[in-house]
Amino acid sequence: MPRVVKAQAYQPTGNAQASSSRSLEALALQQARRSALHRRRQQILLGFLSVLIVIAVYTILTQLPKSNPALLPPPPTIVNAFIKGIQDGTLLSATLASLGRVAIGYLAGCTIAIVIGSLRGWYTTIGYLLDPIIDALRPVPALAYIPLVILWFGIGEMARVLVIGLASFLSCVVSVTAGMKEVPTVYVEAARTLGATERRVFLTVAIPSSLPYIFAGLRVAIGAAWGTLVAAELIAAQNGLGYLLQAGQEFFHSETVIVALFVIGVIGYLMDAALKALQTWALRWSPRSG
């Protein structure tokens, strides 16, 4: 008979007197935290550094003997224009007007994109019906529809919101449909064998399973909507950040143009950051998040 040697308890080797295993663990944890903190500090530091360099280079350019302050306003002029814009309320009212337009157009465009995109991605017959129309609309940039929108709807608020909505829809719908095509079959079959009706499978399996794609679409669309804003406000707008840009050019106030560009950039960044935070929260279950 083969003999099985009695199992021996495992003893960790090493200098047991110098430090208990508990303090070793604390030390390792501390080390890991410290290196994570170091990386984060480095990221923030380098980020600030690059902004500072851009400002410094710009300042030097404005100080060159041949520089024209009307075209390259020195930083104090820009800061003053910014402060003045805030004090007399023009900057705030322009921002609010633009945000309102983008909010309505974006929400409407994305809602329609999610509904139509998911239906055509999930139900093959609806897909056959809608794919030719949507695929024909898609390669045309939203801005190209402006002349037609003006002819049909005039130069009012409706036209501006419509262009933003169209831009949101076109950039969101593709991703939503793609998500529906990627729903793993095994989830669908599991739901069916648990007694789910077709409608329930669509609502409780297809939609949540494609949420990562839907969020990707929403983030592309917010960029598209905000990017189309300026062009939309060229349609005879009386207010808004795009209007401010145009007015700055007409009255030769380059500092106003730069301030408007700055505000557009900061708000675009903040909106994407907010959407990203919402995405992280809504997809906290996803193995790919966090």
Partner 1 sequence: MNDPTAVPALSAKQIWHYFAPVHARRPFLALENINLDIARGSFVSLVGPSGCGKSTLLRVFAGLVRPTSGQVELGGQPIDGPDERKGMVFQEDAVFPWLSIVKNVEYGPRARGVGRAERRKLARQWIDMVGLAGFENAYPRELSGGMGKRVDLARVYASDPEILLMDEPFGALDALTRLKLQQELLLLWERTRKTVVFVTHDLEEAGYLSDTVVVMAARPGRIASIHHVDIPRPRSFDIRTTAQFTVLTRRLWNEIESLDDG
Which residues are near partner 1 by CB under 8 A? 184, 186-187, 189-197, 200, 204-205, 208-209, 211, 284-287
Could you tell me the smallest distance in angstroms from the CB atom of residue 191 to partner 1?
7
**Which candidate, 179, 265, 261, 182, places its Cα nearest to that of 218?**
179
Q: Which is nearer to partner 1, 183 or 229 (CB)?
A: 183
Q: Which is nearer to partner 1, 80 or 197 (CB)?
A: 197
Contact between 232 and 101 (Cβ < 8 Å): yes
CB-CB contact of 144 with 165 (8 Å): no
Residues 281, 284, 274: CA angle, nearest 5 degrees: 25
Tokens of 121: 């991605």
C-alpha–C-alpha distance, residues 104 and 119, integer Å: 23
Which is nearer to partner 1, 12 or 195 (by Cβ)?
195
Residue found by looking up tokens 């080390």 in the block? 31
Shortest Å distance, C-beta 270 to partner 1: 28
Q: Give the separation between CA 61 and CA 73, rounded to whole angstroms.
A: 10
| Closest separation in Å from C-beta 198 to partner 1 | 10
State which residue, 147 or 287, has the beta carbon closest to partner 1. 287
CB 187, min distance to partner 1, A: 6
| CB of 9 vs partner 1, minimal distance in Å | 21
Tokens of 71: 């075209």
Q: Among residues 206 and 241, whose Cβ is nearest to partner 1?
A: 206
